Structures are given as structure tokens and as C-alpha cells.
Structure 1
Amino acid sequence: MGRGHKQHTRDKNKNGLAQVPKQLKKETDGTYEEFSRELADQADMEAQARANAANQRQKRKK
């Protein structure tokens, strides 16, 4: 027994996924979270300083 005609068209994936525009796909600088100095504690400030120092070292290597 064969498939019905309605079932055949149902299985096709006609709804494609939306594409992301190229201007939104730009590469980030590695900062993925927001940083608020008002809510930061000392450990956050030290981590931010270490991250900035590491970024500077990487920029010098290139």
C-alpha cells in the first residue's frame, strides 16, 4: 500500500530557517556579558584587569 498524497507533501520541510544578516555576524572581541562598575566587587575588577592585560598581550603578538 502506498502513502496518501497529503502525507507526502507534509513531510517536506518547506519552512526554511531565517538567515542572519552579515552585519550581525561580525566577530566579537570576546566580551559576551555586560559589566556594571556600580555592582562589581573587587574580584570582578581584578578579573576585568586580567582580561584587559591578556587582550593587550594578544594584540602585541599579532
Structure 2
Amino acid sequence: MNYYENETERQANEELPIGKNEDVEFSEALADSDDREANRRAEAADERQQNE
């Protein structure tokens, strides 16, 4: 359940973009271990959101 301080805050939150379809370039060849970990975590988060 979401709780908001006021109606304006609720409306502002509803207008936020969903980041799943952001155009972000990822190059496995240029990625370091931190990049790979971030990519793995992002994919796991996307999976959790789809399963809600």
C-alpha cells in the first residue's frame, strides 16, 4: 500500500516515468565487474516488477 503526504504528492508519483524501457547502451566488452553486477541486479528488479 502506498501512503502519500497529500494529493499533490500522489499525483506527482503517478506521473513518474517507468524506467524499464529506457534506452541505455550496455557493452559487455567494455563492462567491468561493477557494471555486470548492476546489470544483473537491474534484470532481477525488472523480473520482480513483472511478477507483481
Could you tell me the TM-score, scaled by structure 2's length? 0.58
State the superposition RMSD in angstroms: 2.0
Identity %: 44
Runs of 4 or more, structure 1, over 6 Å off, are none
TM-score, scaled relative to structure 1: 0.49
Rg larger for = 1
Q: Give the Cα–Cα distance (whole angstroms) in 1 for the partners of residues 21 and 41 of structure 2.
A: 14
Q: Which runs of 5+ in 1 are unaligned?
A: 1-27
**Partner residue of 2:39?**
48
Q: How many residue pairs get matched?
A: 35
Structure (1 or 2) with the greater helix fraction = 2
